[in-house]
Structure 1
Amino acid sequence: MPLDVVWIRDGRVAGIATLQPCSSAPCPHEASPGPVDAILEAPAGTFGSAAPGSVVDVGSVPD
């Protein structure tokens, strides 16, 4: 399944990529655009309106 990957730094989108399933070795990889605080993955197309600089609010996560 293709995935959207969003790299997050300081509560904002630092970068976005759509990753395709790997069908041969070695699998390609996508590097982050720099230091990040978090990575969010979801089915491809989920973050269609997001762009670098967009604010990210994922709420609080329980311990």
Structure 2
Amino acid sequence: MHGKVIWLTGLSASGKSTIARAMQKILNEEGMTPLLLDGDQFREAVADHNCGHDPESRILNA
């Protein structure tokens, strides 16, 4: 089986993470091993914890 990428995009709080977690559960139940990379989790793991989503912080995080 080959790997696939499903990339969900949309506005903040539009339900992307909720949909991704539901998809992850379904794929797990089908015997697959999905990897969920959530933007908020990613930013928290690699970025300065004082950075936000304002324009200055976005430049800093780029």
What TM-score comes out, normalization by structure 2 length? 0.23
Higher helix share: 2
What TM-score comes out, normalization by structure 1 length? 0.23
Q: Which has the higher contact order (CA 8 A, sep 6+)?
A: 1
